[in-house]
Amino acid sequence: MLLDLHSHSTFSDGTYTSEELILKAKEKKLELYSITDHDNINAQKEAIFYAEKHKVNYITGLEISCKFKNMFDILGYRIDLDNNALNKTLEKVQTFRKNRNKLMIERLNSLGFNITLEEVAEEAKGDVIGRPHFARVLLKKGYVKDRDEAFDKYLGDGKIGHIPKEKIDPKEAVKLIKDAGGFPVIAHPKSLKLSYTELKKVILELKKHGLWGIEVYYLNHTVSEIKMFREIAVETGLYITAGSDFHGSNKPDIDLGIKVEDELLEKSINILLT
């Protein structure tokens, strides 16, 4: 199968609009596609419209940032876009993010960087501003030589210019997605930096709250990691998914689409399409 259930638009930290992503999915002949922006569903209705127009097999999606000692994101598929609890929670997260962006501008200004929120918003070309947009302004103004330096010195977690964003508990994220009629999935499990036993324990706890799957196939997973995550999925009764985490030019080494041959993945896709 050639598919992609993990990508980001300009409503998040990607550089393609929802229409451009749908057209790219059509060009790539993806069998199933989803846009999964960070902590918002603003691209979804546009994506549905363009997917129907261009005959792309599409399901709604999002990626919720969760509280954890390491990066922990929960993907959600086939969500009800009008679910009240989900929308209220995402609105709260976005309000915090807007305030956080102002604080980051103040922090960077105090460090001697002459940048404005308007300049960063122009880079975002959408309602959602993220650190990649800050990095592009720093690069354009010559404060850093590339995106990596911007994150390594100033914008990365724990760096001098970084202010953490609002995150919710993983159990709450799973429940929000499930209650919105969706399918909650652990994104890029490698990022949790847990042992086999530790990850299995986390999964079994989240299953009590409705966890449905785990993103086994991910472009940054090694062959041995894919094997391990697949074994954990089988042992814990989770379904499996696949995604590239495409961000456009913000992650130029990643292209849209991931090719997988796995009967377990086919079972997952059949359920998502039912």
Answer whether residue 162 is part of any domain.
no
Q: What is the pLDDT of residues 22-43, one digit of tens each?
A: 999 999 999 999 999 999 999 9
Q: Which single residue is written with the structure tokens 């850093």?
A: 144
pLDDT for 127 beyond 70: no
Answer whether residue 163 is part of any domain.
no
Write down the pTM of the prediction: 0.88
Q: Is there a single domain that holds both residue 76 and residue 173?
A: yes
Q: Is there a single domain that holds both residue 103 and residue 237?
A: no
Answer whether residue 146 is part of any domain.
yes
Band of pLDDT at residue 126, cut at 50, 70 and 90: low
Tell me what pLDDT residue 128 has.
Answer: 76
Domain boundary among 155, 180, 204: 155
Closest CA to 90 of 11, 205, 14, 157: 11
Give the whole-angstrom CA distance, residue 52 versus residue 25.
12
Q: What is the pLDDT of residues 55-77, one digit of tens each?
A: 999 999 999 999 999 999 999 99
Residues 6 or more apart whose CB falls under 8 angstroms from that of 245 comprise 6, 7, 8, 188, 218, 219, 220, 251, 254
3-state secondary structure 83-125: CHHHHHHHHHHHHHHHHHHHHHHHHHHHCCCCCCHHHHHHHHC
Answer whether residue 23 is part of any domain.
yes
Band of pLDDT at residue 97, cut at 50, 70 and 90: confident
Q: Is there a single domain that holds both residue 73 and residue 180?
A: yes
Q: Is there a single domain that holds both residue 150 and residue 223?
A: no
Domain boundary among 107, 124, 155: 155
Band of pLDDT at residue 109, cut at 50, 70 and 90: very high
Q: Is there a single domain that holds both residue 120 and residue 233?
A: no
Tell me what pLDDT residue 164 has.
Answer: 84
Answer whether residue 161 is part of any domain.
no
CATH of the domain at 131: 1.10.150.650
How far is C-alpha 52 from the chain's CA centre?
A: 23
Q: Is there a single domain that holds both residue 10 and residue 76?
A: yes
Domain encompassing residue 147: 98-155
Q: Is there a single domain that holds both residue 150 and residue 230?
A: no
Domain count, the chain: 2
Q: Is there a single domain that holds both residue 11 and residue 120?
A: no
Tell me what pLDDT residue 166 has.
Answer: 80
Give the whole-angstrom CA distance, residue 186 versus residue 221.
14
Q: Is there a single domain that holds both residue 82 and residue 210?
A: yes
Q: Is there a single domain that holds both residue 140 and residue 236?
A: no
CATH of the domain at 217: 3.20.20.140
Band of pLDDT at residue 95, cut at 50, 70 and 90: confident
Q: Is there a single domain that holds both residue 142 and residue 236?
A: no
Q: Is there a single domain that holds both residue 183 and residue 252?
A: yes
